[in-house]
Chains A and B, each alone.
Chain A
Amino acid sequence: MIETELAIVGAGPAGLSAAIEARRAGAEVLLIDENSRPGGQLFKQIHKFFGSRSHKAGTRGMNIGTELLRESKELGIQTWLNGEVCGIEEGHKLWVVRDRSRSEIVKAKKIILSTGATENAVPFPGWELPGVMGAGAAQTMINVNRVLPGKKVIMLGSGNVGVIVAYQLLQAGAEVVAILEAAPKLGGYGVHTAKVSRAGVPFYVSHTIKQAFGTDHVEAVEIVKLDDSFKKVPGTERTLEVDTVCLATGLTPLTELAWLAGCKFCYVPVLGGHLPIHDDKMHSTQPDIFIAGDISGIEEASTAMEEGKLAGINAACELGYIAPEEAEVRSREIWDSLNSLRSGYFGQKRRDSKVSILQKSEELISYFKAMII
């Protein structure tokens, strides 16, 4: 068994930011990731980020990833790659399978879960054909592995993931035949849809895929119009020739470890479904277990990095490396930054949902306090 002060599960933008803050304060940190490379989704995000200068706006995601890795290296943060955390046992013991070959138990005083999210799929006849994939998978293929999944792509879903990946497929040399959106309005940022539109990609609102055809791979899809209650309108079908179908239909937080650890959950559709209830320090309802990033609600890398900092600072504070007053001041600064990212037409809903989670956390804390008394 290996002992550490702080174990962080997931080395994406949230986990890396948390590790850097905690290590800088002096805590002993072990960062564990199941992938062979750290950085989470940052290295496939070849676009320039939004936000303000403090959020590294205008910098491409992959360069933010490189910067975070450089910092973590300089700080000598111990990192286990190819390390799958398969369980959390009593006493903050993590069961880690390393290199798919051997088990190791890590006992940590504090744990931060920054496990990210997984892509949602939409089933339709033919969805099992090769060529149907998550938009994030296509993004990994083109931007990390430099493999073009196909030449004629249809994108289902017009949120930021859908439009950004569509743009990057164009950059990689593919043709994007159409972007479909089931809702009557497009989901992603207008500047993203506009740059894809002027590249000649048509958008179809109130549309979905009815079925995909092909023998050993996708050769065509039948699309269909949806009415106001999202029912398919008979007679509106048409067939488009494509060899790749990308599904950009939302993400679900990867919460298995938080469930195993006994964290209390709430259901918040705006943020991706079931989420561990957490307070403004990113503390879950379990003592010593923090969460950060997509597991605490699906947002973006910029918010994940801020939440990671919050978790890292407050875990280091509980370990005695940062004075509570200082942790309080720095947490407040991060909250200002988070609030500015969660404002406006797109952010307000997420901000309201986050507030509702914090309220639930306060209610729970006072409930348990009342029980103890």
Chain B
Amino acid sequence: MKGSLKTTGAPSLEELHNSPAYPTNEQLRKGPIAIIECIEEIPCNPCEAACSRGAITVGENITSLPKIDFEKCIACGACIAACPGLAIYIKDYTYSDTMALLSFPYEYYPLPQAGDTVQAVDRHGKYICDGKVIRVQNPKSNDHTAVITIEYPNEYFEEVVSIKRIVIS
């Protein structure tokens, strides 16, 4: 991926790999895991309190970048809707032999439904592949940030981060 966060709007894979919250390739492919794409020091720490297992640390200085202890993270997803920046998702490389799983925050209506085929996109909204919606979670505690879980071919594991908005014509 070309470009960088401050010129294209989205972080490049290189920028992400250099940030403290992003997992190593080995951690990334081990099983279900939370990933935080927060690479800029902004005053924000709700992710820290959202994790009941203490896997996420921001610290006393609330502009520090979040870090994840991947030994403690059980990929429960409680942090996804808690992040005001919509910068956290869960991925599982080991979902099946060919398919990976992604749970991501989604704040557009209409919501997709379980079983729908959706267009999975990369960090620039570019169509990458089709995905299938496994579940849609939107409890009151999420305060209108739905969490959508899709399966998609694992060859696109790192690129896919979201889906195309469903537009009613």
Binding site for B on A (CB under 8 A): 47-53, 55, 57-60, 63, 158, 170-171, 173, 179, 184-186, 189-203, 205, 340-347
Main secondary structure on A side of the interface with B: mixed
Give min CB distance, A184 to chain B, whole Å: 8
B85 touches A185 (CB 8 A): no
A195 to B108, CA, bound (A): 12
| 28 A-B contact pairs sorted by A residue (CB < 8 Å) | A47-B84, A48-B84, A48-B143, A50-B84, A51-B45, A51-B62, A52-B44, A52-B45, A53-B45, A60-B144, A171-B107, A171-B108, A185-B6, A185-B7, A189-B85, A190-B42, A191-B84, A193-B9, A194-B10, A195-B85, A195-B86, A198-B161, A198-B162, A199-B125, A200-B164, A340-B43, A340-B62, A346-B40
Instruction: State which of B67-75, B116-124, B147-155 sits at the interface with chain A.
Output: B116-124
A186 touches B9 (CB 8 A): yes
Q: In this assembly, does B97 line the interface, its C-beta being within 8 Å of a C-beta of chain A?
A: no
Q: Which chain B residues border A51 with CB–CB below 8 Å?
A: 43-45, 62
Q: In this assembly, does B82 line the interface, its C-beta being within 8 Å of a C-beta of chain A?
A: yes
B47's nearest neighbour on chain A, judged by CB, is: A58
A205 to B4, CA, bound (A): 12
A346 to B40, CA, bound (A): 9
B9 touches A343 (CB 8 A): no
Q: In this assembly, does B26 line the interface, its C-beta being within 8 Å of a C-beta of chain A?
A: no
Count of interface residues, chain B, beta-carbon cutoff 8 Å:
44
Q: In this assembly, does B115 line the interface, its C-beta being within 8 Å of a C-beta of chain A?
A: no
A193 touches B5 (CB 8 A): yes
Q: In this assembly, does B133 line the interface, its C-beta being within 8 Å of a C-beta of chain A?
A: no
Give min CB distance, B70 to chain A, whole Å: 21
Q: Which chain A residues border B164 with CB–CB below 8 Å?
A: 200
A184 to B4, CA, bound (A): 12
A203 touches B85 (CB 8 A): no
Q: Which chain A residues border B10 with CB–CB below 8 Å?
A: 193-194, 197-198
A341 touches B43 (CB 8 A): yes
A57 touches B46 (CB 8 A): yes
Known: A53-B46, A201-B125, A343-B63. A48 touches B145 (CB 8 A): yes
Query: Could you count the A-B residue pairs with CB atoms below 8 Å apart for me: how many are there?
Result: 139
Q: Which chain A residues border B126 with CB–CB below 8 Å?
A: 200
Q: In this assembly, does B87 line the interface, its C-beta being within 8 Å of a C-beta of chain A?
A: yes
Taking A59-B143, A201-B9 as given, write out 15 further A-B residue pairs in contact, using a Cβ cutoff of 8 Å, ordered by the A residue number. A50-B43, A53-B46, A63-B143, A186-B6, A191-B37, A191-B42, A194-B5, A194-B11, A194-B87, A198-B124, A200-B126, A203-B7, A342-B43, A343-B61, A347-B43
Binding site for A on B (CB under 8 A): 5-11, 37-46, 49, 61-63, 82-87, 107-109, 121-126, 143-145, 161-162, 164-165, 167
B7's nearest neighbour on chain A, judged by CB, is: A205
A194 touches B63 (CB 8 A): no
Give min CB distance, A188 to chain B, whole Å: 9
A182 to B40, CA, bound (A): 21
Among B5, B62, B84, B167, point to the contact of A190 (Cβ < 8 A). B5
Q: Which chain A residues border B42 with CB–CB below 8 Å?
A: 50, 189-191, 344-346
A201 to B145, CA, bound (A): 20
A340 to B8, CA, bound (A): 28
A183's nearest neighbour on chain B, judged by CB, is: B6
A48, A63, A158, A341 interface centre (most CB from chain B within 10 Å): A48
A59 to B84, CA, bound (A): 8
A193's nearest neighbour on chain B, judged by CB, is: B9
A119 to B123, CA, bound (A): 31
A203 touches B45 (CB 8 A): no
B63 touches A347 (CB 8 A): yes
Give min CB distance, A53 to chain B, whole Å: 6
Give min CB distance, A340 to chain B, whole Å: 5
A186's nearest neighbour on chain B, judged by CB, is: B6
A190 touches B40 (CB 8 A): yes
Q: Which chain A residues border B85 with CB–CB below 8 Å?
A: 50, 189, 191-192, 194-195
Q: Which chain B residues border A195 with CB–CB below 8 Å?
A: 85-87
